[in-house]
Amino acid sequence: MTQAIPIYKESNERGERETFWAPFFQVKIEGHNLPKDVVQDVIQLTYKDKIEDIDSFELTVNNWDALEQRFKYEPPIAPRQTGASSQSKMDVRELFMPGKRVEVYMGYLNNQRRMLVGDITTLQPNYPESGNPTLTVAGLNVLHGLRKAQHTYSWGKPDEWTDSAIARWMGKQPVSQSSPGLDIKVETPNEGEEMPEEFVFMQNQYDIVFLIQRARRRGYDLRLELERDKSGAERPVKLVFGRSESQRAVTYELEWGKTLLSFRPTLQTATQVSSVVVRGWDRRTKTAIEGKAEFESDATSNKDWGTRIARAIKGREEVVEMPVFSQREAEDQAKRILQDQARRMITAQGATVGLPDLRAGSTIVVLGFGARRTGANVVTQSAGMFDGSYFVTETAHTLNDQGYRTTFSARRTGDLS
C-alpha cells in the first residue's frame, strides 16, 4: 500500500502535532498475524462504527492464484477436523472461516490503535466480469454475542440514575424476554465523574446496543473481556463501561482546505416542530395523560439563527401516542423527542486523513466556512453558519492503495453562529 501525504492533526488542547507518513494495519486471527503472503493479497481494510449500533470490519483480499489458476481463499466444503493432522500447516482456505476471532489494528507506524476485537460473520466472494475474483471477509465486535432480546424500559425518579449505575444494574439482572438484563459483571471505572439524570428511556432496543449508545455519548469504551478455559475456548468474564487506559479523549479541529478534505452540511427545518405532545392513557383512573415540550430560544437578536428557526416553525406541533404511566413521564418523553429532532437540524458528512482516534461519540470542531476579508496584506475570516462543534455519529476508516482516510457523519451541537 502507498504512503499517505504528510499532513498534521491538532491532537488536543495542548496543540500537539503529529506527522502522518506511512499508513499501518495489522489483522490477527485467533491471536496470530496474517501470513505475509496473505498480507500482500489485502486490497482494502475498513472499520465502521455508529453510536447506535455495534462496530464492524471488512477485509477484502485478492482471491485468485494466477500461477496455479485457482481460487486462494475459498473455504473447503468440510473444515479439517482437529486432532493430530491439525499440527500440519494450516490450509489457507480455512483462514477466514466464520466464527473465528479477529483483532483489527489501524493507524500509522507511530500511532496505532486496536480498533476492534470481533468475530467473522460474513464471507462475500466476488466473481467479476473482468479483473481478479476477490473475497470480502466481514465481522462484528464480540459484543454482538450479547444481543438476546429487545426491551422498552425507563429509569427515573424517585431515584436518579447515572449511565454507569444503569450499566451495573443491567449486568446484575438475569437475561429475560420481559425486562433488561445481561447477567454479567460490569465494571464502571468513571462512575464518579457522572451526574445523575432525572429520566433515561430505552425504546425497543437490544440491551447491549443501548449501553453502546450511552457509552459513546460520554466518550467511553464498552468492551467485553474474555478468558480461555482449560479446553482453550473463550468465555465472557466482564463488561467494562468507561474509558480504557489506551483511549484518548481527542477533539479534532478540522479546517476546510487543510485537514478537512470534504464537507457536506445539511440544514433541515421541514421536520422541525415548535412543540411535541405525548399522549397516553392511565388504565387505573381511566383518564388521559398528556405531556408537552416546546422549542425554546434564548436569543433576543433578529440576527440569531435560533430566533429565525423558531419563527419558521412557529405553530407546528407533533402529537405522539405512546404508553406512559404519569404526566411527568409524558413530559420527559415529549422533551426527549423534541431534543432528538433539534439535534438533527444540522447534519453533515465529511472526510479527513485517517485518524484512528476519530470514532463515533467524538467531537470535532469545523472551521473555514466564514466570510474572508483581505486588507493591509492580512486575511481575516469570520465564523460561518456551518463553523462550530459537531458530535460524530458514524465513522468509516478505510485503508487501501490510496492511503488511509476517515469519513464521518455528524450532527451540529451548541448554538448556531
387 and 259 belong to one structural domain: yes
The three cell numbers of residue 302 are 433578529
Give the C-alpha separation, 223 to 212, whole Å: 9
Neighbours of 49 (CB within 10 A): 23
Residue pair 407/398 in contact (Cβ under 8 Å)? The answer is yes
The three cell numbers of residue 93 are 482456505
66 and 166 belong to one structural domain: no
Domain extent, residue 126, equals 23-142
Domain boundary among 142, 163, 179: 142
The structure's pTM equals: 0.77
Is 17 within the bounds of a domain?
no
Give the C-alpha separation, 65 to 129, whole Å: 17
b/e sequence 222-246, b meaning 16+ C-beta within 10 Å = bbbeeeeeeeeeeebeebbbbbeee
Residue pair 253/367 in contact (Cβ under 8 Å)? The answer is yes
Residue pair 135/124 in contact (Cβ under 8 Å)? The answer is yes
203 and 257 belong to one structural domain: no
Cβ neighbors of 286 (< 8 A, separation 6 or more) are none
**pLDDT score for 237:** 87
Q: What is the pLDDT along the chain (417 residues), one digit of tens a residue?
A: 433 333 344 444 444 555 567 899 999 999 999 999 999 999 999 999 998 889 999 999 999 988 888 899 877 665 555 554 444 455 777 899 999 999 999 999 877 899 999 999 999 999 999 989 999 999 999 999 999 899 999 887 767 899 999 999 999 999 999 999 999 999 999 988 898 887 888 989 999 999 999 998 887 888 888 887 776 667 888 999 988 655 555 788 999 888 899 999 988 777 777 788 888 888 778 888 888 888 764 433 334 555 566 666 666 778 888 777 778 878 887 887 777 777 677 899 999 999 998 998 888 999 988 655 555 555 555 556 788 889 899 999 999 999 999 999 999 886 554
Into how many domains does the chain fold? 4
Neighbours of 55 (CB within 10 A): 22
209 and 161 belong to one structural domain: yes
261 and 378 belong to one structural domain: yes
What is the largest distance, in Å, between two alpha-carbon atoms of the chain?
A: 81
356 and 216 belong to one structural domain: no
What CATH number does residue 387 fall under? Answer: 2.40.30.150
Give the C-alpha separation, 81 to 319, whole Å: 60
Amino acid at 173: Q
350 and 330 belong to one structural domain: no
Amino acid at 270: A
Neighbours of 265 (CB within 10 A): 18
Give the C-alpha separation, 180 to 173, whole Å: 7
99 and 234 belong to one structural domain: no
